[in-house]
Amino acid sequence: MAVWLLAALAHADGVPERYAQRYRTVSDPHGLIEDVRKQLDTHSETLPPTQERELLWLMGNAAINSNDDAALAEATLRLDSLAAARDDTVASAAAGFLRSRHDIENGDGDGLSEALRAAAKMQDVRDPVVAAWAKYALCDSYTLVEDARNGLPLCQQVQMNYRELGDTWGLAEAENDEGANLATLNRAAEAAKAYERSRAHFRSVGADQLVVMVGDNLARMYLELGRAHEALALSQASLAQEQATGRVSDALLSRANIARAYEAMGRRADALEQMKTTIADAQAAGKEGLLPDLLQTRSGMAEKAGNNALALADAREVIRLLADRRSPALRSTESALEARYVTREKELRIRDLEHQNRLKDLALKAAQAEAERQDEARRRQTLSSMIAKLVAGGLILIAALLFLLLRAQRRHAAELSEQALRDPLTGVGNRRAFLQRASALVRMHGDPRQPPHVLMLIDFDHFKRINDSVGHPQGDRVLAVVVDHLRETVGKFGHLARIGGEEFAVLCPHFGAEAGIRLAEVLRAGVAALPLPAEVQVEHVTVSIGLALLDGVRCSDLDGWMRAADAALYAAKSYGRDRVVASALVS
Ligand SMILES: Nc1nc2c(ncn2[C@@H]2O[C@H](COP(=O)(O)OP(=O)(O)OP(=O)(O)O)[C@@H](O)[C@H]2O)c(=O)[nH]1
């Protein structure tokens, strides 16, 4: 729209006349509205319809920028009447685009449909300026409803038109909208480039306030791109300008952006402090409209900082504030917030439960560790007591084994010593046993009142002949049978021993000469009469016996006693064998 024709309204410093009115819709909306009203009131009769339409378009935009609904209603109604009176479709479309923008920004009705209807009216327009204007108006509506799929190509197209028309302002506006669409598509790097181009173009026409306003959009992209320091610089520049021109609301929004930059730089405490003063100032200035956004921003920051109480309190306050504004958009924001609040509270409850569970888990693990430790200690105790028992058992076993071994050894030793004293063929004592016993008797000798000990030496008669006639084994058999008889006959009176091949001895302690001779005779006669087994093939056998007393007179030691008995035996052999001779009788 050829608004630059209205030179009378252009008194914005540093902005070319061509763009001055458009700049005023942003930098001085109220002043512009007043000026337009004056123009329309003063020159209503003389104003050409095109200029009237352009003035109303500017007034409508300024009204939207300054939230002046009355001025907006006035502008759209006048455009409608222009359209009706003069069949001016451009005026009708302008009214439609204004209503669309208002409705979208306020969340009332179907703003986009209104824009599409208006754009449809401009389809056949040939004037390139009007065509570009209509295209941009539709691109702006798409951008406002965040329909980037349709908005982006349209906003890129219209840039080409504005370039052809040499309209730097229009180009800058379209680039700003392109940036917004790219941001919606999460293409932050490309969006930043579009915003940078837009700012460059606004700067080139001296529209400082728009440079700053687009700078706010760019700052958001820089934050996304991790360029927090640049974002901070942009927001601080923006804030300085807003404070200088007394734009309280914009200043509050820039302060929020500064807080976001702090947060992105890891300065969470600074971010929360910045939000705290910003929210307090917004409340003090009565900027209720900004509070939901500010509180929501702080809620997110508090959540990230771990201050769940503040996060929830802010979220609740947002819901409370939005409850009074029942526009569809706000209702949807409210629902989204409520849903988010509920979800968040659930998350917090889950986190609390998880925390409690973790604590319980830790306590459980500690208890388990303690139980395991005690179990281990018990196991060790059991093991050591088992080992002790095993050791004790082992020791007992070893002791038992040692005892058994010792007993066996003793038995064995006893057997060995018995074997050492026993004649294996006949089972009677051997020479060694005889000598031990005889020595003992010699040591015991000395009591004259007791009968003297008696020693008999018994020798088989002509035993060589027996061996020679029936063989040595049968001779052994004869020896065994005769010795059995001798042992039985000696019985308890004395001790029989084999002291040589076929020579035996009998020791009778304290037996006396008379009993000794009598026993010797019984022994001799018994052998002589002893029936021998038929298999030995020996009919009978005789023995000669020499007897000596340990009387302490002629025999006082073992040697003498043995010699005396032997002499008696020799005598018995000499006298014809099968007889008993006592040593006293020999000498
Ligand atoms: N079968 C057998 N013979 C034995 C054993 N010990 C000694 N003799 C035998 O006994 C005999 C002893 O012989 P001599 O000393 O000549 O005496 P003798 O033949 O008995 O004659 P006198 O003693 O003079 O009556 C030998 O032939 C020995 O071999 C033995 O254990 N078994």
Residue 250 Cα to ligand 1 midpoint, Å, equals 151
CA-wise closest residue to 15 among 28, 34, 33: 28
How many distinct helices (H) and strands (E) make up the chain?
Answer: 23, 5
Round the average pLDDT of the chain to a whole number and report it. 86
**DSSP code per residue over 92-123:** HHHHHHHHHHHHHHHT-S-HHHHHHHHHHHTT
Decide: 493 in ligand 1 pocket, CB within 6 A.
no
Decide: 573 in ligand 1 pocket, CB within 6 A.
yes
pLDDT of residue 109: 58
Atom of ligand 1 nearest to the CA of 473: 1
The CATH number for 226-315, chosen from 3.90.1300.10, 3.40.47.10, 3.30.420.40, 1.25.40.10, is: 1.25.40.10
Report yes or no: 528 and 481 within 8 Å, Cβ to Cβ: no
Decide: 464 in ligand 1 pocket, CB within 6 A.
yes
Three-state SS annotation for 256-278: HHHHHHHHHCCCHHHHHHHHHHH
Atom of ligand 1 nearest to the CA of 468: 27
Decide: 461 in ligand 1 pocket, CB within 6 A.
yes
Instruction: Give SS3 for 251.
Output: helix
Domain map (residue ranges) of the chain: 1-124, 226-315, 431-586
Torsion from C-alpha of 84, 85, 86, 90, nearest 10 degrees: -30
Report yes or no: 97 and 82 within 8 Å, Cβ to Cβ: no
* Residue at token pair 């998880």: 354
Residue 559 Cα to ligand 1 midpoint, Å, equals 24
Decide: 542 in ligand 1 pocket, CB within 6 A.
no
Q: Is the pLDDT of residue 269 over 70?
A: yes
**Predicted confidence band of residue 325 (pLDDT cuts 50, 70, 90):** low
What are the pLDDT digits (tens) for 501-552? 999 999 999 999 999 999 999 999 999 999 999 988 999 999 999 999 998 7
Residue 501 Cα to ligand 1 midpoint, Å, equals 7
What are the pLDDT digits (tens) for 385-432? 777 777 777 767 776 777 777 777 777 767 777 777 889 899 999 999
pLDDT of residue 342: 60
d(CA 75, CA 320): 34
pLDDT of residue 345: 60
Q: Which of 220-229, 328-337, 470-479, 567-576 has the lowest mean pLDDT?
A: 328-337
pLDDT (average), residues 233-239: 91
Q: Which residues pair with 411 in a beta bridge?
A: none
Q: Which residues pair with 457 in a beta bridge?
A: 505, 546
Q: Identify the residue whose C-alpha is closest to ligand 1 atom 13.
A: 464
| 461 Cβ contact partners less than 8 Å away, ≥ 6 residues apart | 541, 542, 543, 544, 573, 577, 578
Residue 513 Cα to ligand 1 midpoint, Å, equals 29
pLDDT (average), residues 98-122: 85
Decide: 463 in ligand 1 pocket, CB within 6 A.
yes
* 502, 538, 570, 575: residue to mutate for ligand 1 pocket, most atoms within 8 A of CB: 502
Tell me which of 20 and 418 has the higher pLDDT.
20
User: For residue 493, what are the CA distances in angstroms to 440, 454, 487, 490, 496?
Assistant: 16, 10, 10, 6, 10
The CATH number for 431-586, chosen from 3.40.50.1370, 3.30.70.270, 3.30.1330.10, 3.40.50.800, is: 3.30.70.270
Tell me which of 380 and 256 has the higher pLDDT.
256
Residue 505 Cα to ligand 1 midpoint, Å, equals 16
pLDDT (average), residues 40-64: 88
pLDDT (average), residues 322-340: 57
431-586 matches 226-315 in CATH topology: no
Q: Is the pLDDT of residue 116 over 70?
A: yes
Q: Identify the residue whose C-alpha is closest to ligand 1 atom 22.
A: 462
What percent of the chain shows pLDDT beyond 90?
56
Q: Identify the residue whose C-alpha is closest to ligand 1 atom 26.
A: 464
What are the pLDDT digits (tens) for 435-451? 999 999 998 877 778 89
pLDDT (average), residues 496-503: 94
Tell me which of 19 and 331 has the higher pLDDT.
19
| 189 Cβ contact partners less than 8 Å away, ≥ 6 residues apart | 221, 225
Decide: 570 in ligand 1 pocket, CB within 6 A.
no
What are the pLDDT digits (tens) for 132-150? 999 999 999 999 888 999 9
pLDDT of residue 10: 46
Decide: 578 in ligand 1 pocket, CB within 6 A.
no
Q: Identify the residue whose C-alpha is closest to ligand 1 atom 9.
A: 464
Tell me which of 68 and 161 has the higher pLDDT.
161
Q: What are φ and ψ of residue 502, in 5° steps? A: -120, 30
> Is the confidence metric ipTM above 0.90 for this complex?
yes
Residue 474 Cα to ligand 1 midpoint, Å, equals 13
What are the pLDDT digits (tens) for 337-383? 556 556 656 666 666 666 677 777 777 777 778 788 888 888 777 77
**DSSP code per residue over 459-500:** EETTHHHHHHHH-HHHHHHHHHHHHHHHHHHHGGG-EEEE-S
* 462, 464, 465, 478: residue to mutate for ligand 1 pocket, most atoms within 8 A of CB: 464
pLDDT of residue 7: 45
Q: What are φ and ψ of residue 454, in 5° steps? A: -115, 135
